[in-house]
Every structure is written in structure tokens, then in C-alpha cells.
Amino acid sequence: MPSAPSESQSFRPRHLSPSSASTFRQCPRRWKLRYIDKLPDPKGEAAVLGTFVHEILEHLLTLQPDHRSIDAAKKIARELWDQVLEDEDFQALAFSDDDAKEFRWKAWRLIEKYFAIEDPTRVDVLRAEQELAVEIAGVPFFGIVDLTEQISDGIRVVDYKTGKAPSSRFVEDKLSQVWLYAAALAEQKVEVSEVRLMYLTSGSIDRPIDSQAVSQAVSSHRETWDDLCQAIDIQQFPYKTGPLCNWCPYLDHCPEGAVEAERRYGPRS
């Protein structure tokens, strides 16, 4: 008679977000250390910077269109700065005063680039920072859409990116996130006609809705969910080493990753 499943085997995540799925595909061991063992995973500077910039844009786009000026963005950034200073992830960066000043300038330069890419007074906002918790192909999905906007031929889903734009060979992989958002919105009877990745460093990547691409993104998400559930059931979370090991917060818990990081970048200081 088979034994009853252990508590760990019966565990299932409440949902699978695009970022969580990406973490599992990148390295199942890292996923386990974060989501099952719940070890701290402090954000790095790039992630904290991205959060700050996203919050500025969110507040800006909640204003009436004719109030969305560069001066309004400056005012919002100043008002949000005190919250940033109190944020644990920001404090963990242990910035000097000069470092903090440079951080603010990095954020502001990205906001300036946003104004160079787009005129926010012409954005017809439907929802900003919309949480989506739906089931897609049997997978409990969760995500936060930066923006849905009305455009001439329907509805556009927008995801802001503060990092470097991908090379052409990786564009389709990056688009999978917004394809999943389109699928999630469809579950709520919202039909998306276009998706956009807006890289504030360089410009936008736009695509009309592509049912095949949406289907592929959904299938990939389902496969990740199935692999993740199987890993939980058999309690096997293999490591995957690579160039990102050096920036993994769990190197002290992963001998193979530590060896890989040292091989690539030398001994840790």
C-alpha cells in the first residue's frame, strides 16, 4: 500500500507568476530555496531601481492626462523618495550618501527617457498596476500588469522595463510575459489587441495579438507548472549552473553554484 504523501509532497504553490516560473526554469534549486525553504532573497540595485521607477510612472498615469508633465513626475519622485529610504530592500543596499544620490539620478534619467519615448498626456489609461489572479490552462496564475490602455484598434498591454533591451534572438522569450498577461485578461473577458514591452533605456517592442504566440506561452507555463509539481512530489530540485550563479543570493547553500561562480569570476571577496 503506498505511503501517504508527506507535507512537502502535498504542497502546491498558491499560484505561478511569470517571475516564479522563470526562476524555476533557470534553476529549480534556487526556486526551492526561495519558495519552499523561504530563505531571504534580497533585491539588488537594479530591481529596487525598477520598483522606484514603476511607482513614479504608476502615480503619474493616475493623474488627469493634461497634468502628466515632467514637473509632475519630479514632484511624485520627491514624494516617493522618503518611502524608498524606509524600504528594507533599499536599506539592504547599504548605500553611502553619494551612492543614494547617484541612485536617484539613475531613476530620474529613466523617467526622462520615458518622456522622450512617449507623451503621457496621450495615453488613454484603462488600468495601472492591475493584479491578475486567474486560472490559465489549469495553472493558478498571478501577475501584475503595469498598464492596459485604450488604443485606436482595441486594448494594449504594456510592461515597463528598466533594464537593457534584449538582442533580437531573445525578444520572443521576453514577450512571453505579456502574452501570458493577454491570456489572463482573456479569462476576465478582456480582449487584448496589442502588447508592448517598453524598454525605457531604448524604446518599445510592439506586437499585434498573436494567438499562436499566446498559446505557446500558455503551454510553456503549463509545462513549467507540471515540472515544478513533479519536483515537489519527488523532492528533487536539481541545480543548473551558469553565468548568473555569481549573483545568486544562495551561493552559501549551493556548493556547485559557488564552484561555478569561482571558475568564471575568481574567488569571492
Residue reference for cell 509532497? 9
**Cell numbers placing 89:** 530592500
Give one word for 94, left, alpha or beta, with left for phi > 0 and alpha for psi -120 to 50: left
3-state SS, residue 63: coil
3-state SS, residue 133: strand
Per-residue pLDDT, averaged over 47-69, amounts to 97
Alpha carbon distances (Å) from 40 to 31, 190, 212: 12, 36, 38
Distance CA 245, CA 30 (A): 10
pLDDT in tens, 165-175: 989 888 999 99
Reference 193, options 185, 205, 201, 202; nearest CA is: 185
Give one word for 38, left, alpha or beta, with left for phi > 0 and alpha for psi -120 to 50: left
Q: What percent of the chain has pLDDT over 90?
A: 87
pLDDT in tens, 115-161: 999 999 999 999 999 999 999 999 999 999 999 999 999 999 999 99
At 265 the pLDDT is 87
Reference 16, options 188, 177, 131, 140; nearest CA is: 140
Domains delineated in the chain: 21-38+222-265 (no CATH), 45-121 (no CATH), 123-220 (3.90.320.10)
